[in-house]
Amino acid sequence: MVTLNPYITFRGEAREAMTFYRSVLGGELTMSTFGESGMGQDPATADQIMHAQLEAPGGLTLMGADAPPGMESAPGDTVSISLSGPAQDEERLRGCYTALSEGARSTLPLEKAPWGDWFGMLTDRYGIGWMVNIAGDGG
């Protein structure tokens, strides 16, 4: 089986961000630092996250890391993470949208879309774009 997983690069916020995403999505979060991996030669970055992986219910996997010095990282508008599901998952999806909204910039409130689904977009407090879609007659 082939999987496609979002991998987010942060500037020193990976631990905080991935812990926040765990609070939103649930699941098990594992993290390793540059220091633990032997790559943390610089004391300033030894405690930063070399790799984090969140295994959330429903087969969701989200990965992330802090960019090491010298590697460019700038959140942008070229990629968004989409959470979508059927009407029976409405409560979970609405909960995710509400939690992600804390400290976020709303692009489009979660509301009935012209195609009949409930849809919302936001940029979270870490600069990551999210789209939430609840299919059918949810809400």
Concatenating the DSSP letter of every residue in 70-102 gives: T------SS-EEEEEE-GGGHHHHHHHHHHHTT
Distance CA 25, CA 80 (A): 16
Which pTM was predicted? 0.84
Q: Looking at residue 1, what is its pLDDT?
A: 62
Q: Looking at residue 62, what is its pLDDT?
A: 96
- Tokens, residue 56: 């959330």
Question: What is the mean pLDDT of each successive set of 10 residues along the chain, which is 139 residues long?
Answer: 83 95 97 82 85 94 87 69 94 96 95 92 94 80
Q: Looking at residue 138, what is its pLDDT?
A: 47
Share of the chain above pLDDT 70, in %: 89
If DSSP codes are grouped into helix, strand and coil, which group holds residue 35?
helix
Q: Match 């961000």 to its residue by tokens.
A: 17
What does the pLDDT look like over 26-41, one tens digit per residue? 999 999 998 887 765 7
Domains of the chain: 7-66 (3.10.180.10), 80-134 (3.10.180.10)
If DSSP codes are grouped into helix, strand and coil, which group holds residue 69?
coil
